[in-house]
Structure 1
Amino acid sequence: MAATEITIVPVTTKAERATFVDLAYRLNAADPNWVPPLRMEAMELVTPGKNPFFEHATVQYFLARRGGAVVGRISAHIDHLAIAMSPEQGMGPGVGNWGMLEATDEASAHALIRTAEDWLRAKGMTRVLAPLSMSIWEEPGQLVMGFDHPPTVMMGHQPERYRDWIESAGYVPAKTLHTYELDITKEFPPLIQRIIQSGEKNARIRIRNVNKKKFGEEARLILDILNDAWSDNWGFVPFTETEIGYAGKKFRPIVHEDLIMVAEYDGEPVAFMMTVPDLNEAIQPMGGRLLPFNWIKLLAWLRKPKPRTMRVPLMGVRKKLQSSRLASQLAFMMIEYIRRNAITRYGSTRGEIGWILEDNQGMVAIADAIDSHINKTYVIYGKPL
């Protein structure tokens, strides 16, 4: 075999899966803005029986080797819930995905992408949307703007060169996602304050904290609202019961009652806003390892987090209220109450909202109204097979 020849091999063993995970740490080690995930979580993400995504998806991982050295990786997957959705929402029949791309050079990246495409084509797929690592709810899209600062918790960060490699493989943008940042130490504009004050005088509106003692019940309520609120959105895939339980368990360590709000109207829960401390600030220096002493530091941080940044990964208003003035009012009230708590109780100074679809006019209008601005942009690309 020539030293320059690239060989693509499917991942079939536990050891190969560990090699697949480890490659990301090696290739991104020199990037100061890459946040090494905890290795145990990175392994869990790609392991059947650990990640409930595998209950409704067919997944194959591949490694690229050159001269005996591992030079790249990729996942190819078909989400059977996604292909059951309406084609008008982006996914639908015949749409497969790849993600988790890491490569040392363009030739390796192209060989991996071709292999993923061939695998999807052999499974009957006719179109690909990528990168998704692996569900739309995990790390969607390739970063195309905002390389100069680390991502917040649950957001991706890929080298800029990957964008060129993806586009040179024949991919074109299918959907653009943004995250928005704002200085939360500043009060919102007078108009927004008046909208909030009006809501506070309305006896039919109640904004409450979640109750962590009823965490399972609250998690199901929030995800029920989410599944309804997002059901018409591009790329939407509903959460399963198993995923609801898994998400609740995963989020529990960073859940704080005063950072997650539920809005009730006439006693009915109709909206929610979830905010989490930016865990990436705590884990970035750890290099992905909890041993020997990082677990102590992490536990201390989780007990009393003092993050610079709070992230809003999810919010939603039931579909029947969307596009109404009440929906915006409830959103502004939840954002304001959480903003106050983030400053006074956690010492935070920065907020990040997203991701938000570029054409989600309602959410973009809310982000603009509170004087936030785009700080990162991700692109999901498409290509016929």
Structure 2
Amino acid sequence: MNIVEVSDHKHRKAFLDLARIIYKNDPNYACPLDGEIEGIFDPKHNSFFNHGEATRWVLENDKGKIIGRIGAFINTRKANSFDQPTGGCGFFECIDDKKAAFLLFDTAKGWLQERGMEAMDGPINFSENDNHWGLLVDGYMPQSYGMPYHQKYYKAFFEEYGFKVYYEQYSYHLDMTKQFPERFWKIAGWVAKKPGFSFEHFRYDNAEKYIQDIISVYNDAWQFHDNFSPIDPNDLRKVAKEGKGVIEEEFIWFAYYEGKPIAFFVMMPDINQILTKLNGKFHWWNKLKFLYYLKRKTITRARITIMGVVPKYQRFGVESAIFWHMDKVMKTKPHYKEVELSWVGDFNPKMISIYESVGGVRMKTHYTYRYLFDSKKPFKRAPIIPLENRVNKLKSKNVKESAE
């Protein structure tokens, strides 16, 4: 076998084509667009290259046939915030051959070690964790856009190599043809009408304002999470620009208290229901097909990609009130039958409780693994931070700032 770093058109094409070969006869698989995957490894398109580096390889058998692939990356904003400097690997695909899989893992590990890393997370993305993150281990059904789909035998490859589960990721499904639980409606309706609180959805004619609102809530809500790093506004602007024509303005909601943003909720139409027909290609004919299927309301599922509430308001039922508004929107769009709430980590019991309170049913599980290069060092799972701890940290921070 021969491992080749991707550096020319031939091997870039081979990297992309391998997934089409691996999942050729699997009706559940929706091939990501080639341009999207290429953009992740292109410094001109991926802002993470401003604070990191990445590369990728393909694996050839003795006859020169591509049988595997993998990428490796270092996000310098986060790498040194763990007990061991930690990089990542991702976009792993391989035939059912353990020797080939281990060679791919060894290659990623070696590249990371050369750059001072002592651990490797995978499979992850060289970007934010809302897309291409985690290994599918349960729920082999059509995945929503951005959620990875894998062969069942990959789990054994990762675990036999020495990867351990760092955290579990759950995706819940919500049947929009059913009513929300009665108790939920009482709380949601009460909060939605409470003085001081207001709610509005995203509008493109005021996009920059909403981008800044997302940043404000995100930085406040996630600041106490381990390995937090601020969100890049240019990444949000890019998503808004590229998603125009697909994004439903009424699927993105904001909550305010006395005019200050305190929560946001982002849901996107699941374009995987169209991408299954395009096989990863977006040439002019497929662009026409995409628009055709979009107009015919082929998309019947949406995916909640992220939801955030600043700690001070996490006991006010703000999430319920947002769902209350969203339900009214969904009633005006009856072709949407299902919502996927993904993903929520096992380290976030608060959000799991919210998803279950609205009637969500756990349908899929992904694992994010961690592999310590020195097996003698103690392995720790991702920490769970109870809501009470976050509130206490916030109080301590406020007291400290007042004293200063």
Q: Aligned partners of 2:296, 2:263: CA distance in 1, in Å?
A: 27
Range 273-282 or range 12-21, more displaced? 12-21
Matched, 1:142 2:138: no
Does the residue aligned with 1:307 lie in a helix, a strand or coil? coil
Question: Alpha carbons of 1:305 and 1:264: their partners in 2 closer, same or farther (altered >3 Å)?
Answer: farther
Matched, 1:364 2:364: no
1:260-309 CA distances to partner (integer Å, 9 max, x unpaired)? 11111111111011111111111111112233532113124445745221
Question: Alpha carbons of 1:156 and 1:237: their partners in 2 closer, same or farther (altered >3 Å)?
Answer: farther
Matched-pair contact (CA < 8 Å) for 2:303–2:340: yes
Q: Which residue of 2 aligns with 1:274?
A: 266
Q: Aligned partners of 2:37, 2:263: CA distance in 1, in Å?
A: 31
What is the deviation of 1:57?
Answer: 1.6
Does the residue aligned with 2:29 lie in a helix, a strand or coil? coil
Matched-pair contact (CA < 8 Å) for 1:271–1:316: yes
Q: Which residue of 2 aligns with 1:3?
A: none
1:298-327 CA distances to partner (integer Å, 9 max, x unpaired)? 1244457452211110110113323x2x1x
What is the deviation of 1:113?
Answer: 0.2
What is the deviation of 1:44?
Answer: 1.9
Q: Aligned partners of 1:56, 1:11: CA distance in 2, in Å?
A: 21
Query: % of aligned pairs identical?
Result: 26
Matched-pair contact (CA < 8 Å) for 2:188–2:323: no
Matched, 1:69 2:65: yes
| Structure 1 residues 175-186: aligned runs within 5 Å | 175-186=167-178
Q: Which residue of 2 aligns with 1:100?
A: 91
What is the deviation of 1:16?
Answer: 2.1
| Structure 1 residues 1-385: aligned runs within 5 Å | 6-67=1-62, 68-85=64-81, 87=82, 94-104=85-95, 105-135=97-127, 136-147=129-140, 149-234=141-226, 236-302=228-294, 305=297, 307-322=299-314, 324=315, 326=316, 329-385=317-373
Range 9-18 or range 254-263, more displaced? 9-18
Matched-pair contact (CA < 8 Å) for 1:100–1:134: no
Q: Aligned partners of 2:24, 2:91: CA distance in 1, in Å?
A: 16
TM-score w.r.t. length of structure 1? 0.91
What is the deviation of 1:194?
Answer: 0.7
Does the residue aligned with 1:139 lie in a helix, a strand or coil? coil
What is the deviation of 1:76?
Answer: 0.9
Does the residue aligned with 1:48 lie in a helix, a strand or coil? coil
The residue identity in structure 2 corresponding to 1:53 is F
What is the deviation of 1:368?
Answer: 1.3
Q: Aligned partners of 2:48, 2:191: CA distance in 1, in Å?
A: 39
Question: Alpha carbons of 1:373 and 1:81: their partners in 2 closer, same or farther (altered >3 Å)?
Answer: same
Does the residue aligned with 1:41 lie in a helix, a strand or coil? helix
Matched-pair contact (CA < 8 Å) for 1:307–1:346: no
Q: Aligned partners of 1:234, 1:349: CA distance in 2, in Å?
A: 36
Does the residue aligned with 1:353 lie in a helix, a strand or coil? strand
- The alignment of Structure 1 onto Structure 2 pairs a total of residues equal to 370
Matched-pair contact (CA < 8 Å) for 2:172–2:361: yes
Matched-pair contact (CA < 8 Å) for 1:184–1:349: yes
Gaps of 5+ in 2: 374-404
What is the deviation of 1:69?
Answer: 1.2
Question: Alpha carbons of 1:84 and 1:223: their partners in 2 closer, same or farther (altered >3 Å)?
Answer: farther
Does the residue aligned with 2:277 lie in a helix, a strand or coil? helix
Matched-pair contact (CA < 8 Å) for 1:18–1:43: no
Does the residue aligned with 2:236 lie in a helix, a strand or coil? helix
What is the deviation of 1:367?
Answer: 1.0
Q: Aligned partners of 1:116, 1:49: CA distance in 2, in Å?
A: 23
Gaps of 5+ in 1: 1-5
Matched-pair contact (CA < 8 Å) for 1:128–1:383: yes
What is the deviation of 1:79?
Answer: 0.6
Q: Aligned partners of 1:234, 1:339: CA distance in 2, in Å?
A: 33
Matched-pair contact (CA < 8 Å) for 1:306–1:346: no
Q: Aligned partners of 1:175, 1:283: CA distance in 2, in Å?
A: 29
What is the deviation of 1:346?
Answer: 4.6
What is the deviation of 1:41?
Answer: 2.0
What is the deviation of 1:220?
Answer: 2.9
Aligned-pair Cα RMSD in Å: 1.9
The residue identity in structure 1 corresponding to 2:356 is D
1:60-115 CA distances to partner (integer Å, 9 max, x unpaired)? 21111112111111011111111254x3xxxx651111111011122111100011
Q: Aligned partners of 1:343, 1:94: CA distance in 2, in Å?
A: 48
Q: Aligned partners of 1:219, 1:261: CA distance in 2, in Å?
A: 12
Range 41-50 or range 242-251, more displaced? 242-251
Does the residue aligned with 1:197 lie in a helix, a strand or coil? helix
Q: Which residue of 1 aligns with 2:378?
A: none
